[in-house]
Structure 1
Amino acid sequence: MQQIVAGLALGSIYGLVALGYNFIFNAVGIVNLAQGDFVMLGGYIYGGTLTLLLGLPFLPALVLTAIAMAIFGIISQRIVYYPLRDAHPRMVMLSTIALGIFLKNISLIAWGTYPVSVSGLFGQRGLRIAGVSILYQYIFILICVIILLAIQQFFFKKTTVGKSMRAVAQDRLAAMLMGIDAYKMIAITFAYSSTLAAIGGVLLAPVFMVSQVLANVGLKGFAACVIGGWGDITGAVIGGLVVGLVEVFSASYISSVYKDAIVFAILIGFLIFRPQGILGRATEVSL
């Protein structure tokens, strides 16, 4: 039970990161390879600045981190994507790699090389069920992600902006012909993707100390996208849960040394035998 809850909690975070990948991929046809660095930056802003330096409580720090990362997402879209919007997707992907390197170096300058320890809301307290202790932090992560996904469903199905973002993701040219400002929606998509990454960083900060290693969450999110199916929103969440469960069970029953290797071995297996993922459709992508 403990491993299942921990796996679902971590997997839900990987699912959030995977959603960020998919939203940008659907909107502009590129893979934002700096998504993991956005998770790291969100963790540093929350843990290294707002809570430890300024002493803000969880909720205000979370909101300010989300706002800061949304603004940063729009800025990064204007710098990294917009000038290269008519270039080959490979060029844009290279620019996102450069952005990730830039963010890692900025984090070293701003917060140093030592990991930042962030206290969770519940410490090491947990819920005991049948003699098994389940950390409240993992339960809290699951509840937060479920609420966020519910809000996201409402936003994309019931609001004008959400419907416009979906329209641009499905067919940018047709959306523009219908009078939708596609580039404005793309900017909002980048902001939303960055916000998802920031929330992931905030929720993971008490579980893992905030450091540059937190950027590796982006690799797990990438694996979740491939396993669930590129471009499929539900697939991203399912892929994230699969990655989280595999990681936790591998660490518990095999060895924590090999948990990442097992996750990426499964990723390679999907790339070879089912590259479209669990829910994705087989498509040709030009790289």
Structure 2
Amino acid sequence: MDTFIQQLINGLSIGSVYALMAVGYSLVYSIMNFSNFAHGGVIMIGAYFGFYAMTALNLPFIAAFALAAAGSGILAILLERIAYRPLRKRNAPFLYFIISAMGASIFLENIVIATVGPTFRTYPRVFDSAPISFGAISIGRLDITMFIISAISLSILMYIIGKTRTGMGIRATSYSERASALMGVNTDRIIFIVFGLGGVLAGIAGMLFGMKYTVYPQIGFITMKSFIAAVFGGLGSLPGAVIGSVLLGTIETITAGYISSQYRDLIAFVLLILVLIIRPSGLMGKPTEDKA
């Protein structure tokens, strides 16, 4: 039983970071109806922002954390303005957006390899490595921090979406961009804000993930897990993205603890296939035919 609780706690920790990544996918999908595969590149850049802020600039954790979030938010907005906005103005098919997103992801990864290098980098230690123990159960201080920061960030996002005028505009645009524009909603501004919010969360997730593991140009591949979580919960549904992420993180850690860590990635992709076969709209998503 202690082993199960231990793996459950580990799953909640990594699942909360997956959730930060997954809501970025869901936000963009709910507004623009395509999967933003460049999101992984933004997460990777956020991890590097935080790393160099703490090592090269010698900034404290809080300042580095803010820089990573702000830098990734700005990068996400720039990507939307450069890569997606011209396509929106021409009413391009959704396939063009996906191709553009994949190209942006490859560009970001290779520009980092060319300028920074492919070397793995490790964050300096911020928290005491000694875990907090409750009997046979040990909880890392970093895991606790990851969960708390993720929970606070997601709560703020949910408040913005559910309780503010901007959030009302986001929800209206997610139902119908054309109808929202006719009702006076500045949909271009809403898309600008959505990419900014997704980028900020991506920077937070990238820094937390880099602190727990390492930083390298291919770190964006981890967003495949968050994409699976978003599909599992239902693309376009923020609560679904959070629930899917927590479930995926828990399933992965339990698989690693009871079977083998070699199967954790396999389980994730098997889960994706099963969801697509049994319930393509996910746990909380709505069936659609025109989204890609």
TM-score bucket (shorter structure):
over 0.9
Of residues 216, 229, 239 in structure 2, which corresponds to 1:224?
229
Structure 1 range deviating more: 276-285 or 77-86: 276-285
Identity within the alignment, %: 35
Structure 2 match to 1:215: 220
Residues 262-273 of structure 1 aligned to structure 2 (within 5 Å): 262-273=267-278
Amino acid at match of 1:114: T
After superposition, the Cα gap between the structure-2 partners of 1:59 and 1:286, relative to the gap in structure 1 and judged at 3 Å, is: closer
Tell me if the contact between 1:120 and 1:137 (Cα under 8 Å) persists in the aligned partners: no
Gapped runs of 5+ residues in structure 1?
A: none
After superposition, the Cα gap between the structure-2 partners of 1:132 and 1:286, relative to the gap in structure 1 and judged at 3 Å, is: closer
Deviation at 1:286, TM superposition (A): 5.0
Tell me if the contact between 1:39 and 1:217 (Cα under 8 Å) persists in the aligned partners: no
Alpha-carbon displacement from aligned partner over 1:250-286 (angstroms, at most 9, x marks no partner): 1122111121011111111111111111112222235
- 1:153 and 2:158 matched: yes
Of residues 129, 136, 148 in structure 1, which corresponds to 2:134?
129
Structure 1 match to 2:258: 253
User: Aligned partners of 2:83, 2:24: CA distance in 1, in Å?
Assistant: 16
Residues 49-198 of structure 1 aligned to structure 2 (within 5 Å): 49-85=52-88, 86-198=91-203
- 1:37 and 2:41 matched: yes
Q: CA RMSD of the aligned region, Å? A: 1.3
Alpha-carbon displacement from aligned partner over 1:91-114 (angstroms, at most 9, x marks no partner): 110000000000001111232111
Deviation at 1:202, TM superposition (A): 1.0
Equivalenced residue count is 286
Amino acid at match of 2:87: L
User: Aligned partners of 2:291, 2:141: CA distance in 1, in Å?
Assistant: 45
User: Aligned partners of 2:174, 2:96: CA distance in 1, in Å?
Assistant: 20
What's the secondary structure of 2:212's corresponding residue?
coil
- 1:10 and 2:36 matched: no
Alpha-carbon displacement from aligned partner over 1:8-57 (angstroms, at most 9, x marks no partner): 1111111111110010011111110111121111001111x211111111
Amino acid at match of 1:35: H
Tell me if the contact between 1:40 and 1:215 (Cα under 8 Å) persists in the aligned partners: yes
Structure 2 match to 1:241: 246
User: Aligned partners of 1:110, 1:62: CA distance in 2, in Å?
Assistant: 22
Tell me if the contact between 1:116 and 1:209 (Cα under 8 Å) persists in the aligned partners: yes
User: Aligned partners of 1:284, 1:191: CA distance in 2, in Å?
Assistant: 27
What's the secondary structure of 1:8's corresponding residue?
helix
Tell me if the contact between 1:270 and 1:277 (Cα under 8 Å) persists in the aligned partners: yes
User: Aligned partners of 1:156, 1:274: CA distance in 2, in Å?
Assistant: 26
Amino acid at match of 2:67: L
User: Aligned partners of 2:175, 2:120: CA distance in 1, in Å?
Assistant: 41
Structure 1 match to 2:211: 206
Gapped runs of 5+ residues in structure 2?
A: none
After superposition, the Cα gap between the structure-2 partners of 1:27 and 1:286, relative to the gap in structure 1 and judged at 3 Å, is: closer
Deviation at 1:226, TM superposition (A): 1.1
User: Aligned partners of 1:216, 1:252: CA distance in 2, in Å?
Assistant: 23
User: Aligned partners of 1:234, 1:180: CA distance in 2, in Å?
Assistant: 24
What's the secondary structure of 1:240's corresponding residue?
helix
User: Which of structure 1's runs of 4+ aligned residues deviate more than 4 A?
Assistant: none
